[in-house]
Amino acid sequence: MSRLVVVSNRVGPIRDSARAGGLAVAIVDALKRRGGLWFGWSGQVTEEGTHGRLKTEEAGRISLATIDIDQSDYETFYAGYANRTLWPVFHYRLDLARFDRDLLRGYWSVNERFAARLFPLLGPDDTVWVHDYHFMPLAAKLRAMGAKHPIGFFLHIPFPVPEVLASLPRWHDLMRAMLAYDLIGFQTERDRQAFVRYFLEEEGGSFDGEWLEVNGRRVRVGVFPVGIDPQAFRRFAASPEAERQEQRMRQVLGDRLQLIGVDRLDYSKGIVQRFEAFGRLLEQYPENLNRVTLLQVAPPSRSDVEAYADIREGLERFAGHLNGLYADIDWTPIRLIVRAFQRRALAGIFRASRVGLVTPLRDGMNLVAKEYVAAQDDADPGVLVLSRFAGAAEALDGALLVNPYDTDGTAEMLQRAVTMPLEERRDRWRRMFEVIERDSAENWWTSYMTALRASR
Ligand code: ADP
Q: Rounded to an integer, what distance in angstroms lies between the CA atom of residue 210 and that of residue 73?
A: 36
pLDDT at 182 over 80: yes
Cα distances (Å, whole numbers) of residue 69 to 79, 136, 264: 12, 18, 24
Q: Rounded to an integer, what distance in angstroms lies between the CA atom of residue 272 and that of residue 298?
A: 12
- Confidence (pLDDT) at 20: 60
Q: Summarize the confidence of residues 144-162 as an average pLDDT.
A: 98
Q: Summarize the confidence of residues 72-79 as an average pLDDT.
A: 98
Pocket perturbation via mutation, ligand 1, pick of 346, 370, 373 by most ligand atoms within 8 A of CB: 346
- Confidence (pLDDT) at 305: 86
- Confidence (pLDDT) at 303: 84
Its ipTM equals 0.94
- Confidence (pLDDT) at 22: 63
Cα distances (Å, whole numbers) of residue 333 to 325, 387, 453: 9, 22, 52
Q: Summarize the confidence of residues 153-180 as an average pLDDT.
A: 98
Domain boundaries, the chain: 4-227+441-455, 230-438
Considering the segment(s) 4-227+441-455 as one domain, its CATH architecture is: 3-Layer(aba) Sandwich (3.40)
- Residue 346, classified by CB atoms within 10 Å of its CB into exposed (0-12), middle (13-18) or buried (19+), is buried
Residues counted in the chain: 456
| Ligand 1 binding pocket includes 19 (Cβ within 6 Å) | no
Q: Summarize the confidence of residues 412-440 as an average pLDDT.
A: 98
pLDDT at 294 over 90: yes
Q: Summarize the confidence of residues 394-401 as an average pLDDT.
A: 97
Give residue 18's pLDDT band: very low, low, confident or very high (50, 70, 90): low
Residue 2 Cα to ligand 1 middle (Å): 32
pLDDT at 423 over 60: yes
Q: Rounded to an integer, what distance in angstroms lies between the CA atom of residue 130 and that of residue 126?
A: 13
pLDDT at 95 over 60: yes
- Confidence (pLDDT) at 32: 87
- Confidence (pLDDT) at 304: 84
Instruction: Please give the number of the atom of ligand 1 that sits closest to the Cα of 269.
Output: 3
Cα distances (Å, whole numbers) of residue 9 to 41, 257, 287: 5, 40, 48
Q: Summarize the confidence of residues 66-74 as an average pLDDT.
A: 98
- Confidence (pLDDT) at 13: 84
Question: pLDDT (tens digit, 9 = 90+) per residue, 233-268?
Answer: 999 999 999 999 999 999 999 999 999 999 999 999
Instruction: Please give the number of the atom of ligand 1 that sits closest to the Cα of 226.
Output: 7
Helices (H), 35-90: 71-73, 87-90
Residue 394 Cα to ligand 1 middle (Å): 19
Residue owning the nearest CA to atom 22 of ligand 1: 340
Average model confidence (pLDDT) across the chain: 95
Count other C-beta atoms under 10 Å from residue 305's C-beta: 18
Domain 230-438 coded CATH 1.10.1130.10: no
Residue 36 Cα to ligand 1 middle (Å): 26
pLDDT at 376 over 80: yes
Q: Summarize the confidence of residues 168-196 as an average pLDDT.
A: 98
Percent of the chain at pLDDT > 90 equals 90
DSSP-assigned states of every residue in 97-131: ----HHHHHHHHHHHHHHHHHHGGG--TT-EEEEE
Question: pLDDT (tens digit, 9 = 90+) per residue, 109-146?
Answer: 999 999 999 999 999 999 999 999 999 999 999 999 99
Give residue 346's pLDDT band: very low, low, confident or very high (50, 70, 90): very high
Identical fold between 4-227+441-455 and 230-438: yes
Residue owning the nearest CA to atom 2 of ligand 1: 366
Q: Rounded to an integer, what distance in angstroms lies between the CA atom of residue 327 and that of residue 372?
A: 27
Residue 137 Cα to ligand 1 middle (Å): 27
